[in-house]
Chains A and B, each alone.
Chain A
Amino acid sequence: MKTRLKLSLTLLTGLLAAGCASTPEEGAGDGRWGDGEQREQAAGRDGGEAGAAAEGAAASASAAARRFGFAGQDYEEALEEEEGLLHKRTIYFEFDSDAIPQEYEEVLAAHAAFMSEHEEAEVILEGHTDARGSREYNLGLGRRRAESVHDFLELEGAPADRIEVVSFGEERPAAHGGDEQAWQQNRRVEILYSGVDR
């Protein structure tokens, strides 16, 4: 199971790399458009096909900004927009699992797009677990969850060199209590942005 997952991740990474290599030079800037006109043009296209388009990676990033609703907002503004996907910076997990629930895929895709557009964005992924079982083993579990989010972000195009991963195991619970309600809130990965969350 684990091996198969790794294999498919490797395959995907390879495909992404191949896609980037084939994009034209002019698209390889810092991921931001200079003016509103071009941004609107990009927005007309489906974000998912942008990688194959002539405008390349830059167009895809900007299309992503439209798609995820942070186009035209600066760094802090986008992260603090309460209605936005980026405002969701906690991913919750099932018991004893490091699989990212489907409902968070869109959220993480938005973060990946945001990170590639904003070079100032440096992120720490903090993995946490509920209080059950061994503390040291839970430190490992929290790490696994954070790495799982890390992999997802990377596959969505977020720059890996600006993502740090750390586990707190069960040492920093979000909620206190010995029932499923508290445990559920504690099984999480927190996405912490430089300048905003820390």
Chain B
Amino acid sequence: MTMRRLTALLLALALWPAAAGAVLTIEITEGVTGARPIAVVPFGHPPDVRPNADLAQVVATDLARSGRFSPMPRRELPAQPERGGAMDMEQWRLAGQDHVLVGQVDRGTDGLVIRTQLMDPYREEQVFGYRFQVPQSGLRRLGHRLADRVYEAVLDRRGAFSTSMAYVRTERETGDEPRYILAVADADGRNEQVILDSSQPLMSPAWSPDGRRVAYVSFEGGRPGLWIQTVTSGSRERIGPASESRSAPAFSPDGRYLAWTRQDGENTDIYITDLKRGGEPVRLTRHWAIDTEPAWLPGGEGLIFTSDRAGSPQLYEVDLDDRARPVSNPERITFEGNYNASADVAPDGRHVALVHRNNNGFRIAVLDRERGGLQVVAETTMGESPSFAPNGDMILYAAERSGRGVLESVSSDGRARQRLGMDIGNVREPAWSPFDALTRN
């Protein structure tokens, strides 16, 4: 995508009125070469139907964020057909578009009816056609689902646009009345939903694999403690006694176990609780060093964690049996640089996103567990908390820009990077939800 096109997209975004309650907005910070050209034509609608979201804009923005598509700027569209049959295929071939998405929004018996087609102008055929019925309020979410369909149809990979994220943001952090807010939002940062508001620090949100619950750390009571909260109902329970300092929760891939960190005297070690059977937690590490930030391998066959047992924080891996008990000694897996931490394992089990310090600051990098190489994917100075999309194609992370905490996303290969800038406060610690997270009733 050329810079001119990026600017056009940015401008289009700026002109589109923000949806009510939107907190995050998207800024494109870096472009991509080699992305697939696609035209997403504005959806037609009768004059008396007023959609409250620009479907085509939602779809185009999602596709651009992935780094794998280069949506044609709206003002450059050679025509604005509403149906595949009304297209002049040669016109779109001349415009260099591999795919064209067209559609209409109309009134239905109950809400809105959306008809849409993805066309291939080279083969002169329809790739897919769908008819959806949604309430007016569901239009934006439908846009994300539509972007998922396009992603799947063209790339043969599951799209992750209609997912959610959890994050922490603060207001007046250094003042007398700080506020710490735990929120979930759509993966593009829209539709924020506050799930907890506290005067004490909140940190380390982590999704359950069924996408219904979020584990996190709350300092209510004066020390870090673990909580698990159901997103839709808001009901929550503490994991462990209030007298202990616990943090860094991570659900096992089957949801049965919770790995976490306990601070006891001078020891900071990792434990695993069986959420189903209860009982005493199993201690996973036993070392005077700081052992923390457990991250499960996708099959539950091991954990990756941060430890400074070699003098500076590095990642280690330990094997687990099918009852989540350690069956090997921890083995170091990072060797480049003197600071590698905050692992998040991709669904392929092979790639690990992490925070890597080099001479210029804390970068977001990806480790290849099979080949051992480390690739920096985001040149941040204060990068934190990388979190893979459930399809592994993108990474959300926190960064600092102009003294403010912001969220950014980057394609896993580092080619496309976007910022999700906040209007107020500092935002950090994004955790990308699994597929099919349940955040609303």
Contacts and interface: CB of A to CB of B under 8 A. Distances in A.
Interface string A139-150: 111011001000
Contacts of A167: 224, 245, 263
A137 B307 CA distance: 8
Contact of B201 (A134, A143, A171): A171
Contacts of B308: 137, 140
B292 A139 contact: yes
B203 interface: yes
A66 interface: no
A132 interface: yes
A144 B247 CA distance: 15
A136 B403 contact: no
Given A134-B384, A167-B245, A171-B219, A176 B341 contact: no
A174 B247 contact: no
A6 B292 CA distance: 22
B313 interface: yes
B290 A166 contact: no
Contacts of B409: none
Given A137-B313, A147-B265, A2 B292 contact: no
B268 interface: yes
A133 B203 CA distance: 14
B367 to A, nearest CB: 15
A168 B178 CA distance: 14
A165 B339 CA distance: 26
A144 B339 CA distance: 18
B173 interface: yes
B203 A171 contact: yes
A87 interface: no
B219 A139 contact: no
A53 interface: no
Contacts of B245: 143, 166-167
A67 interface: no
A195 to B, nearest CB: 16
B104 interface: no
A143 B219 contact: no
A134 B268 contact: no
Contact of A136 (B178, B219, B293, B428): B293
Interface of A: 2, 124, 131-137, 139-141, 143-144, 147, 165-169, 171-178
Given A173-B174, A178-B382, 17 more contacts: A131-B382, A132-B382, A133-B355, A133-B384, A134-B313, A134-B341, A136-B204, A136-B306, A137-B341, A137-B342, A140-B268, A140-B290, A144-B268, A172-B173, A173-B173, A176-B173, A176-B174
